[in-house]
């Protein structure tokens, strides 16, 4: 007799436990309460936490137990969730959902959400549901909605610890974000490492990267609209989550069946983790680096959102957020040739509150009044220090040093060096936003919309920074006056100047401090208005709109304003056919329009920069798209786009001998075109997910930039067209959810991203060269030293190797018998292929000693090890 193995028996029992032993089929139909239309794609959530998706007739079949009644929930975006009791007897039930935020007992209603919000529309936007955010965003050491957004078509791979991706070739800073309609200008923690959007507080996210409606603006690249979860008007609900590094909670309270309040919070707990590792480092030397952490990285954030129906046709909504983050570290490394050290303290505060009043004066009109205010403050204090002791010159360039020894007393056979960079700055910002939106259904398939918005932004920046930079000693980098000053400081005799120039004019490098001491008190007013008309004529939908943006900047003893930016936009959507064979529908879309936004760097403007004009960043975008829907919930979407960017602001920064030159320009250009593909399988019982592929070609030009040492938003390449540093030609993502049983979900993400451009080395190894240290504030330390340089040139065909990110997450769901209490447990590993492969760039080396690191250097956007994480949440 063959006995079954215990492990096999356990597996069989687990699989059987997922299915009721005594059950009957029950058909659930989900429809619109007022129109009695089936809601295809509606989600039916069962008592055990599993979900079913309704077909095109709004129907799905579930198995209900024969021995007890259970409760299910029916949900659909834009509708109120409905609970349905499934009795022991009964084979069919109908769930009639009401639109959320609308008037009842009217022939025609308008949704409180703005048209176009939280939906995927070919040529305009792509949306991520709360369920997809939970699977793809609730992973990693910090759970983040941007982890989900970075998996969408048109979004460039940004690597780890970077919540600022490029959208269809645009600069990462060009993307704008809003939370429940409030524009957030700095939606980031830790300087952009992660966003402020906790997945557990988000209902949906919509990225508009095409020709979106003229109702929205303030971006030339992409607009990310985040919608928070809504409180239940009837039930008290609670959710508690714990993951690798943070704990979060949600508490929803009803308000007399007319609305509700939802409180949300998140707090990290790296402090005890860092403390434990510090204790372990006493016995494990490899962990000693943890002792450089003085203040453990932290995030503290909280949010509240609510709504209340004052009347049947009048609703009040509000959302508030407050967050802070910071870190403190001190690091020191001592070697044979000297010491290097670093200190850093970073603290960031931000908060805002926004409220809206929605009023239906008639059954075909919607008025929305919004008012909000926000505050931000960032404090940075740090320094880096290099000290070299008894350094001598090598023989690599002996004749250089021999001549310098003959010509200058500042050249000695050995030297000590003490160089320090420091940065101390405080940035504060306060803003007020108000807007009025009006929608009118005029009948005969015409919709008219209009609105105005006013934004007040006050920015205060103060501090001092000094960063050492190196410039080749030539006529291009130093004028005649500066060169004479250097001759005197180097102690070059007048009779030796001609010979010195002949020998070292393009070979000698001068190290000078680049100083930035802002004293900014600026106020920016942004006034916007729009007019939109929509028409639906059978298979053709047309939207024509005009948006106007005007910018006025006022500072100490100066003021500048822009010419009003006119942004017309036109979109067509055409349904070729529906339900032909295995194809459910074929749709075509086309759109073109102008966009404008203000560059955040305009806030650094001061009278001394002598800015005579201000232009908003502009772009002309055109999109063509095709969408195919097949039977079985399969959707294929392809879009091609072209974008011309003009009047782009960039800021070249040059370190003169005794001063720093900062000159903003508004004549930057850019060209971008590409193709985005999306193949999506809608939610189903056993598997779902999507595949995306994006090809992007983008180049920029900064015509007024010359020999700058640093640049903001470009400003380094001059009149030559160039690929930006973040550009990648190819981005591919595979997102797959596998459900072997109803209570288990296996999430797999695999990506391929081509490399970013890097310089091409033209010699086999670095070589030594003379550097003259110059600092007008510390002349006693001015001297010749030896440094190392690896000659390189810009090569558009030289790039890092491709990145291959792969993440795996296993989730287990469960609930009590009534389905009121539900839980989820997950374990995950990000970057799982790092043990076998990492994207590689140029080999690094020590600029003071010339020592070359062995092997290739991992690209700076990669973490060279897998990152495990776990999480648990329970809701009631």
pLDDT band with cut points at 50, 70 and 90 for residue 16:
very low
* Spatial CA neighbour of 512 closest among 634, 657, 397, 347: 657
Q: Would you mind telling me the total number of residues written for the chain in this entry? A: 876
- The pLDDT value recorded for residue 109 is 35
What's the first-to-final CA gap in the chain, in angstroms? 48
* Spatial CA neighbour of 719 closest among 731, 733, 701: 701
Q: Could you read off the pLDDT of 573-592 as tens digits, one per residue?
A: 999 999 888 899 999 999 99
Stronger pLDDT, 748 or 27, i.e. the higher one: 748
Q: Does residue 778 have a pLDDT over 50?
A: yes
pLDDT averaged over every residue in the chain? 87
Identity of the highest mean pLDDT range in 92-96, 232-236, 863-867: 232-236
Stronger pLDDT, 700 or 859, i.e. the higher one: 700
- The pLDDT value recorded for residue 198 is 95
- The pLDDT value recorded for residue 308 is 95
DSSP secondary structure string, 831-863? SGGGGT---EEPPPB-TTT-PBPSSPEEPTT--
pLDDT band with cut points at 50, 70 and 90 for residue 7:
very low
Q: What gap in Å lies between CA 650 and CA 639, rounded to an integer?
A: 30
Identity of the highest mean pLDDT range in 60-74, 147-161, 707-721: 147-161
Stronger pLDDT, 477 or 138, i.e. the higher one: 138
Phi, psi of 533 (to 5 degrees): -125, 135
Q: Could you read off the pLDDT of 586-619 as tens digits, one per residue?
A: 999 999 999 999 988 888 888 888 888 899 999 9
In this prediction, residues 659-680 reach a mean pLDDT of 93
- The pLDDT value recorded for residue 151 is 96
Burial of 818 (0-12, 13-18, 19+ CB in 10 A): exposed
Q: Which two tokens stand for residue 534?
A: 């929509």
Q: Which two tokens stand for residue 515?
A: 């100083």
Q: Could you read off the pLDDT of 201-218 as tens digits, one per residue?
A: 999 999 999 999 999 999
Contact between 677 and 653 (Cβ < 8 Å): no
- The pLDDT value recorded for residue 21 is 38
Q: What gap in Å lies between CA 142 and CA 129, rounded to an integer?
A: 20
Q: What gap in Å lies between CA 641 and CA 828, rounded to an integer?
A: 36
Identity of the highest mean pLDDT range in 42-56, 174-188, 402-416: 174-188
Q: Does residue 92 have a pLDDT over 70?
A: yes
Q: What gap in Å lies between CA 93 and CA 72, rounded to an integer?
A: 11
Q: What gap in Å lies between CA 494 and CA 51, rounded to an integer?
A: 86
Contact between 351 and 382 (Cβ < 8 Å): no
- The pLDDT value recorded for residue 48 is 66
Q: Could you read off the pLDDT of 704-744 as tens digits, one per residue?
A: 887 788 888 887 777 889 999 999 999 999 999 999 998 99
481: helix, coil or strand? helix
130's enclosing H/E stretch is: helix 130-137
Contact between 248 and 266 (Cβ < 8 Å): yes
Q: Which two tokens stand for residue 680?
A: 């999506």
pLDDT band with cut points at 50, 70 and 90 for residue 49:
low
- The pLDDT value recorded for residue 88 is 59
Q: Does residue 855 have a pLDDT over 60?
A: no
Three-state SS for 610-653 is: CCCCCCCEEEEEEEEEEEEEECCCEEEEEEEEEEEEEEEEEEEE
CA distances from residue 539 to 40, 585, 586, 633 in whole angstroms, order as listed? 20, 11, 11, 22
- The pLDDT value recorded for residue 227 is 93
What does DSSP assign to residue 279?
Answer: H
Quote the distance between the C-alpha of residue 125 and its chain's center.
Answer: 16
- The pLDDT value recorded for residue 17 is 35
* Spatial CA neighbour of 190 closest among 291, 295, 263, 277: 295
Q: Does residue 6 have a pLDDT over 70?
A: no
Residue located via tokens 């070739």: 169
- The pLDDT value recorded for residue 89 is 61
Give the least confident one: 331-335, 427-431, 807-811, 867-871.
Answer: 331-335
Stronger pLDDT, 370 or 402, i.e. the higher one: 370
Q: Could you read off the pLDDT of 788-844 as tens digits, one per residue?
A: 888 888 888 999 999 999 999 999 999 888 778 899 999 999 999 988 988 888 888
Contact between 82 and 96 (Cβ < 8 Å): yes
In this prediction, residues 55-72 reach a mean pLDDT of 78
- The pLDDT value recorded for residue 286 is 64
Q: What gap in Å lies between CA 229 and CA 250, rounded to an integer?
A: 10
Q: Does residue 640 have a pLDDT over 50?
A: yes
DSSP secondary structure string, 746-801? EEEEEEEEPPPB-PEE-SSS-EEEEEEE--TT-GGG-EEEEEEE--EE--TT-BPP
Q: What gap in Å lies between CA 483 and CA 476, rounded to an integer?
A: 11
- The pLDDT value recorded for residue 10 is 35
DSSP secondary structure string, 409-468? TT--SEEEEEEEEEEEEEEEEEEEEEEEEEEEEEETTEEEEEEEEEEEEEEEEEEEEEEE
Share of the chain above pLDDT 90, in %: 53
**Could you tell me which residues are beta bridge partners of residue 803?**
753
CA distances from residue 760 to 470, 724, 795, 847, 859 in whole angstroms, order as listed? 20, 16, 6, 17, 15
- The pLDDT value recorded for residue 171 is 92
pLDDT band with cut points at 50, 70 and 90 for residue 397:
low
In this prediction, residues 178-190 reach a mean pLDDT of 94
Q: Does residue 674 have a pLDDT over 60?
A: yes
**Could you tell me which residues are beta bridge partners of residue 452?**
436, 529
In this prediction, residues 334-363 reach a mean pLDDT of 90
Q: Could you read off the pLDDT of 436-458 as tens digits, one per residue?
A: 999 999 988 899 999 999 999 99
Q: Could you read off the pLDDT of 467-518 as tens digits, one per residue?
A: 999 888 888 888 888 889 999 999 998 888 888 888 888 778 999 998 999 9
Burial of 222 (0-12, 13-18, 19+ CB in 10 A): buried
Q: Could you read off the pLDDT of 104-128 as tens digits, one per residue?
A: 333 333 333 444 445 788 999 999 9
Contact between 784 and 397 (Cβ < 8 Å): no
- The pLDDT value recorded for residue 636 is 96
- The pLDDT value recorded for residue 5 is 41
- The pLDDT value recorded for residue 840 is 87
């Amino acid at each position: 007799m063959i006995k079954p193995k215990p492990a096999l028996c356990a597996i069989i029992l687990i699989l059987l436990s997922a299915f009721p032993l005594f059950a009957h089929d029950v058909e659930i139909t989900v429809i619109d309460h007022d129109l009695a239309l089936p809601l295809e794609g509606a989600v039916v959530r069962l008592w055990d936490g599993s979900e079913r998706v309704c077909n095109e007739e709004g129907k799905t079949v579930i198995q209900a137990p024969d021995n007890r009644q259970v409760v299910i929930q029916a949900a659909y975006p834009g509708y109120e969730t409905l609970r349905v009791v499934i009795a022991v007897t009964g084979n069919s039930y109908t769930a009639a959902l009401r639109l959320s935020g609308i008037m009842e007992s009217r022939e025609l209603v308008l949704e409180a959400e703005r048209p176009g919000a939280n939906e995927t529309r070919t040529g305009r936007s792509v949306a991520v549901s709360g369920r997809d955010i939970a699977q793809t965003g609730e992973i990693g050491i910090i759970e983040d909605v941007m982890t989900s957004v970075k998996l969408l078509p048109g979004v460039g791979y940004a690597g780890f610890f970077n919540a600022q991706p490029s959208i269809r070739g645009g600069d990462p800073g060009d993307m704008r974000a809003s939370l429940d309609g409030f524009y957030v200008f700095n939606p980031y923690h830790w300087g952009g490492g992660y966003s402020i959007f906790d997945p557990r507080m988000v209902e949906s996210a919509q990225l508009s990267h095409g020709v979106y409606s003229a109702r929205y603006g303030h971006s030339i690249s992409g607009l990310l609209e985040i919608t928070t979860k809504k409180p239940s008007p009837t039930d008290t609900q609670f959710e508690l989550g714990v993951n690798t590094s943070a704990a979060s909670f949600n508490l929803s309270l009803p308000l007399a069946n007319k609305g509700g309040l939802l409180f949300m919070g998140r707090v990290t707990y790296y402090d005890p983790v860092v403390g434990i590792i510090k204790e372990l480092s006493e016995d494990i030397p490899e962990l000693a680096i943890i002792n450089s952490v003085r203040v453990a990285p932290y995030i503290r954030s909280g949010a509240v959102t609510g709504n209340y129906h004052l009347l049947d046709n009048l609703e009040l909504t509000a959302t508030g957020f407050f967050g802070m983050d910071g870190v403190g570290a001190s690091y020191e490394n001592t070697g044979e040739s000297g010491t290097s050290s670093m200190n850093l303290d970073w603290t960031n505060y931000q908060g805002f509150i926004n409220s809206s009043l929605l009023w239906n004066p008639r059954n075909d009109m919607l008025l929305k009044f919004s008012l909000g205010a926000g505050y931000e403050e960032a404090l940075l204090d740090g320094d880096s220090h290099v000290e070299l002791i008894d350094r001598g010159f090598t023989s690599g360039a002996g004749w250089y040093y021999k001549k310098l020894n003959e010509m200058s007393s500042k050249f000695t056979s050995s030297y000590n060096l003490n160089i320090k960079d420091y940065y101390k700055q405080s940035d504060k910002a306060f803003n007020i936003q108000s807007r009025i939106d009006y929608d009118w259904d005029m009948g005969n398939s015409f919709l008219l919309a209009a609105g105005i918005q006013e934004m007040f932004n006050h920015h205060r920046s103060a501090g001092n920074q000094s960063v050492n930079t190196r410039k080749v000693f030539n006529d291009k980098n130093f004028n005649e006056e500066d060169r004479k000053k250097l001759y005197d400081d180097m102690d070059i005799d007048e009779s030796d100047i001609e010979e010195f120039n002949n020998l070292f004019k393009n070979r000698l490098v001068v190290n000078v401090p680049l100083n930035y001491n802002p004293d900014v008190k600026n106020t920016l007013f942004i006034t916007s208005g729009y007019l939109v008309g929509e028409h639906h004529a059978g298979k053709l939908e047309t939207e024509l709109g005009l948006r106007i943006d005007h910018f006025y900047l006022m500072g100490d003893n100066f003021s500048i304003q822009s010419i009003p930016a006119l942004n017309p936009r036109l979109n067509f959507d055409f349904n070729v056919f529906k339900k032909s064979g295995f194809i459910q529908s074929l749709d075509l879309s086309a759109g073109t329009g102008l966009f404008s936004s203000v560059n955040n760097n305009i806030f650094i403007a001061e009278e001394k920069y002598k800015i005579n004009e201000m232009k908003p960043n502009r772009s002309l975008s055109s999109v063509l798209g095709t969408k195919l829907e097949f039977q079985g919930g399969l959707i294929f979407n392809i879009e091609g786009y072209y974008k011309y960017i003009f009047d782009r602001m960039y800021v070249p920064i040059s370190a003169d001998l005794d001063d720093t030159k900062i000159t903003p320009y508004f004549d930057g250009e850019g060209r971008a075109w590409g193709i985005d593909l999306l193949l999506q399988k809608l939610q189903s019982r056993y598997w779902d997910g999507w595949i995306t592929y994006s090809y992007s070609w983008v180049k920029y030009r900064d015509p007024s930039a010359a020999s700058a040492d640093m640049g903001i938003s470009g400003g380094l390449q001059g009149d030559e067209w160039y690929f930006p540093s973040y550009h990648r030609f190819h981005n591919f993502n595979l997102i797959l959810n596998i459900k072997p049983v109803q209570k288990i979900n296996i999430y797999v993400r695999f990506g391929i991203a081509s490399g970013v451009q890097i310089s091409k080395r033209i010699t086999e190894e670095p070589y030594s060269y003379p550097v003259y240290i110059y600092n007008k504030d510390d002349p006693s330390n001015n001297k010749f030293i030896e440094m190392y340089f690896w000659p390189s040139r810009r090569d558009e065909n030289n790039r890092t190797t491709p990145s291959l990110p792969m993440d795996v997450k296993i989730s287990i769901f469960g609930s009590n018998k009534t389905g009121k209490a539900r839980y989820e447990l997950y374990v995950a590993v990000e970057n799982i292929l790092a043990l076998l492969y990492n994207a590689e760039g140029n080999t690094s080396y020590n600029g003071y000693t010339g020592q070359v690191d062995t092997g290739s250097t991992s690209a700076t956007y990669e973490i060279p090890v897998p990152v495990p994480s776990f999480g648990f949440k329970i809701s009631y």
